[in-house]
Structure 1
Amino acid sequence: MSSRTLPAAAQAYSPLYFLASLGAGGLTVTFFMWLMFWVPHPGKPVPVFEDIMAAFATGGTGMQGMIILAMAGIAVFFFLNIKALVWNLNHLRGFVRAEGYAAFRASNAETQMMAMPLALAMAVNGAFIAGLVFVPGLWSITEYLFPLAMIAFLAIGWMAFRHLGAFLGRVIGKGGFDHGANNSFAQKLPAFALAMVGVGMAAPAAMSANPLTVGASLVLSTFFLMAAGVIAAIALVMGIQAMLEKGVAPEAAPTLMIIIPLLTVLGILMLRQDHGLHTTFEVHGSAGETLVMLSRILSVQGLFALFGLFVLARIGYWSRFVFGQSTSAGAYALVCPGVGLSVMMHFWLNKGLVAAGLVAKFGAAYWAISGVAVGLQLAMVALVVYLNRRHFRADPMPLAQPAA
């Protein structure tokens, strides 16, 4: 295949294309939210294959249609998640051998390598969802799977810290960090990666009945929670200072909303920890406390969504990098905020409003709020389909040069 017919992603590869895998994995989670909150699963914190089949057998046409769509969505986007992950891992090998890799490692962009452990952690989370939904009897062996899952997440976390340590060792030990080129929230990517590892590490706390497993999950996930929080706070301050001086870097503008999926992941992590504390260690929180926590998270997310969308419109990002002739791997970062808001709205509604008795489950208000979450989800489905065609489809016509 000639260079004229190579997909845009292959012509100008960047580790940020791991976000294509991440976005598909996030959409897998959004379809699982339908099953999580709309399918009964008595005695278990999550629905499994047997619960889903029972609901399909006894439910009406609406329930059956929802289950078919949810399972189809999980299957399709988990496949795209793994497909994009494998594609990136293959192309990353050529990228690290390329002539420009040394310059890449000597710049602020080195932290883009954190997109790899971020995508790997998302893939493990997605695989667990696919197993719950499609594998009969999986729940009976989960106590054996939880330690293996924590080992996998520890390995991914170690990889993430190696990349982060190499970057910090260089810029702190030798200097060279370009504050003028830090005019975005791109340096929050390491925090996002560690948070994704942490939320996977917290899953056994919410699902295991073994106190040792729950305790290990609580301790290890807390480490990643705090690490992600510290790095995110530092990156926030540094990024705002540079943006006030230089203005936002146009191609990195989608990172202004990276705090939205970051907070969703950390919010789910804390919910999982609370559940483990409640079921295993008799630490009881109230529905009101959960509602307030989720409302605070959603409020911050709403503020950053408005802020980010305003800036993107002001600099013409959509017309340049999404619908225009310039291509940018960073466009995939637009998927994460929509997915994060959709997932958080489901939790805010079900674990907050419904649990506190403010909204009746399956009432008019319930479906109105759920409709907003589903609307965001479907918009991100359309965006992923569009971006995949734009970046990964071979084009017989010459492509415009991507932005630097």
Structure 2
Amino acid sequence: MTRSQKHVAEAYSPLYFLASLGAGGLTVTFFMYLMFWVPHAGRTVPIFEDLMAVFANGPILLQAAVVVAMAGIAIFAFLNVKSLIWNLSSLSRFRKTKSYEALRSSNGETTLLAGPLAAAMTVNAMFILGLVFVPGLWRVVEYLFPLALIAFLAIGVWAFLLIGDFLGRVLTKGGVFDVTAHNSFAQLMPAFALAMVSVGLAAPSAMSGNALVVGASLVLSTFFGTAAILYTVVVGVTAFSSMLHYGTAREAGPTLMVIVPIMTVLGIMSLRQSHGLHVGFELHQTAGETMIFLARLLTVQVLFLMLGLLVLRRQDYFADFVFGHKKSPGSYALVCPGVALSVMLHFFINKGLEAAGLIGKFGIAYWSLTAIALLAQIMMIALVFRLNRQHFSAKGTPDNMVPAE
């Protein structure tokens, strides 16, 4: 490699996969408009034909919402894929450097799990693109579900191989894990990756009419979802103990809120599984039970948001790393909680409060609560563009990777 290429490769961080993840998450927030506002009788998700029916006969405001949603999905899916490709290429070069060797022998080895995490999100985003923009997709969708299961399973194997390398090293060689640097929730990246795989694996259980596909979806998503929960509990407890002793690592402060997206992803996995069990195996859950389930998840999210924002404010994180001139690739972790909160609010409002009859569809209470979800989405859109301007040069390379002339 030339000096310039070597500098770029050495300076890369796998945390830049979070830029792809954030864009993919925003794709999902726009899909929420279609999911809960567009009629799609007989299906669990809206498809291209449902959107065309809105343009043909729907109210003008709903048509406008569909246009915004389709544009948002297209824009952020493009950014998601573009960033994923750039990261995979950069990671390939990074593997040939001494910085990569140092990473693999440190606590930061788990940042490599941002790769399968972002890849799983991209598969979800591609499925959304297909539903929204491909006519007639639903006629062949049953053939796609096995392929989706294979894709997510492959990403899950990638994630487990990385986790196995890390745990195999730190659990067999004493003293190689720096407990003093465990003072954040950065080590929850593997749990987040496993949770993202699990929600993807659960999708066929909510949409397929094939009992074998539904069964495989339920079992596989349960395996990865349970693994994510166990990893979250074990690492969360040990990390919190370290934070109480050493304080929270400043640049890793945003990871305090990683529990928020993990809760949203596992919550959607559970809802998808519930639908599969209802349709395929006659196991029923009432609207009230769903509402309480979502309320509990939302409570956990709000508590960790409050904790994270408290610590970040006390550490002046936003002043330096968001609105200031300091750069940390971990800043992209701030996008995930806001996106996850927006998505969870949509589910809580529609699958919880409205389904249970506590609020009316499209009433004052409905739109008042939905406004919070939309505000969170708008703030995250602004944050993504702000971070992209702050971190990336005009050539699409992070500024810290551009060598001095």
TM-score, length of structure 2 as denominator length: 0.95
What is the letter of the counterpart of residue 350 of structure 2?
A: N
What is the letter of the counterpart of residue 317 of structure 2?
A: Y
The alignment-based identity, stated in percent, is 60
Alignment of 1:207-226 (within 5 A): 207-226=207-226
Task: Return closer, same or farther for 1:10/1:74 CA change in 2, 3 Å cut-off.
Answer: farther
Distance 2:119 2:357 in 1: 38
Deviation at 1:394, TM superposition (A): 3.2
What is the letter of the counterpart of residue 358 of structure 1?
A: L
Task: Return closer, same or farther for 1:321/1:10 CA change in 2, 3 Å cut-off.
Answer: farther
Q: Where do 4+ consecutive residues of structure 1 move more than 6 Å?
A: 8-11, 398-402
Paired residues in the alignment total: 397
Q: Which residue of 1 aligns with 2:72?
A: 73
Q: Which residue of 1 aligns with 2:94?
A: 95
Deviation at 1:379, TM superposition (A): 0.5
Q: Contact 2:120–2:196 at 8 Å: present in 1 too?
A: yes
Alignment of 1:295-334 (within 5 A): 295-334=295-334
Task: Return closer, same or farther for 1:93/1:170 CA change in 2, 3 Å cut-off.
Answer: same
What is the letter of the counterpart of residue 385 of structure 2?
A: V
Q: Which residue of 2 aligns with 1:26?
A: 25
In structure 1, runs of 5+ residues without a counterpart are: none
Q: Which residue of 2 aligns with 1:180?
A: 180
Task: Return closer, same or farther for 1:350/1:10 CA change in 2, 3 Å cut-off.
Answer: farther
SS at match of 2:248: coil
SS at match of 1:43: coil
Alignment of 1:44-55 (within 5 A): 44-55=43-54
1:275-311 CA-to-partner distances (Å, cap 9, x unmatched) read: 0001111101111110000000000100000110010
SS at match of 1:45: coil
Distance 2:163 2:60 in 1: 50
Task: Return closer, same or farther for 1:10/1:103 CA change in 2, 3 Å cut-off.
Answer: closer
Task: Return closer, same or farther for 1:367/1:157 CA change in 2, 3 Å cut-off.
Answer: same
Task: Return closer, same or farther for 1:9/1:314 CA change in 2, 3 Å cut-off.
Answer: farther
Distance 2:345 2:363 in 1: 16
What is the letter of the counterpart of residue 90 of structure 2?
A: H
What is the letter of the counterpart of residue 53 of structure 2?
A: A
What is the letter of the counterpart of residue 329 of structure 1?
A: P
1:120-170 CA-to-partner distances (Å, cap 9, x unmatched) read: 000000000000000000011111000000000010000000000000000
Considering Cα pairs closer than 8 Å and 6+ residues apart, tell me whether 1 or 2 has the greater RCO: 1
Q: Contact 2:391–2:399 at 8 Å: present in 1 too?
A: no
Distance 2:333 2:216 in 1: 32
In structure 2, runs of 5+ residues without a counterpart are: none
Deviation at 1:60, TM superposition (A): 2.0
Is it true that 1:364 corresponds to 2:364 in the alignment? yes
The two structures, once aligned, show a CA RMSD in angstroms of 1.9
Moved more, 258-267 or 322-331: 322-331
Q: Which residue of 1 aligns with 2:202?
A: 202
Q: Which residue of 2 aligns with 1:116?
A: 115
Task: Return closer, same or farther for 1:11/1:55 CA change in 2, 3 Å cut-off.
Answer: farther
Distance 2:140 2:225 in 1: 27
SS at match of 2:98: coil
Is it true that 1:290 corresponds to 2:290 in the alignment? yes
SS at match of 1:97: coil
Q: Which residue of 2 aligns with 1:387?
A: 387
1:23-51 CA-to-partner distances (Å, cap 9, x unmatched) read: 00000000000000000001000000000
Alignment of 1:221-370 (within 5 A): 221-370=221-370
Distance 1:30 1:3 in 2: 41
Distance 2:166 2:218 in 1: 28
Distance 2:47 2:32 in 1: 13
Q: Contact 1:15–1:116 at 8 Å: present in 2 too?
A: yes
1:52-84 CA-to-partner distances (Å, cap 9, x unmatched) read: 110121112211111110000000000000000
Deviation at 1:100, TM superposition (A): 1.8
Distance 1:385 1:401 in 2: 19
Deviation at 1:336, TM superposition (A): 0.1
SS at match of 2:252: helix
Distance 2:8 2:129 in 1: 27
What is the letter of the counterpart of residue 280 of structure 1?
A: G
Deviation at 1:232, TM superposition (A): 0.4
Q: Which residue of 2 aligns with 1:62?
A: 61
Distance 1:341 1:156 in 2: 25
Is it true that 1:138 corresponds to 2:137 in the alignment? yes
SS at match of 1:173: coil
SS at match of 2:204: helix
Task: Return closer, same or farther for 1:202/1:399 CA change in 2, 3 Å cut-off.
Answer: closer
What is the letter of the counterpart of residue 76 of structure 1?
A: I
Deviation at 1:235, TM superposition (A): 1.1
SS at match of 2:279: helix
What is the letter of the counterpart of residue 52 of structure 1?
A: L
Q: Which residue of 2 aligns with 1:125?
A: 124
Deviation at 1:3, TM superposition (A): 9.6
Q: Contact 1:326–1:401 at 8 Å: present in 2 too?
A: no
Distance 1:330 1:45 in 2: 35
Distance 1:137 1:155 in 2: 27
What is the letter of the counterpart of residue 307 of structure 1?
A: L
What is the letter of the counterpart of residue 334 of structure 1?
A: L
What is the letter of the counterpart of residue 121 of structure 1?
A: A
SS at match of 1:233: helix
Deviation at 1:9, TM superposition (A): 8.6
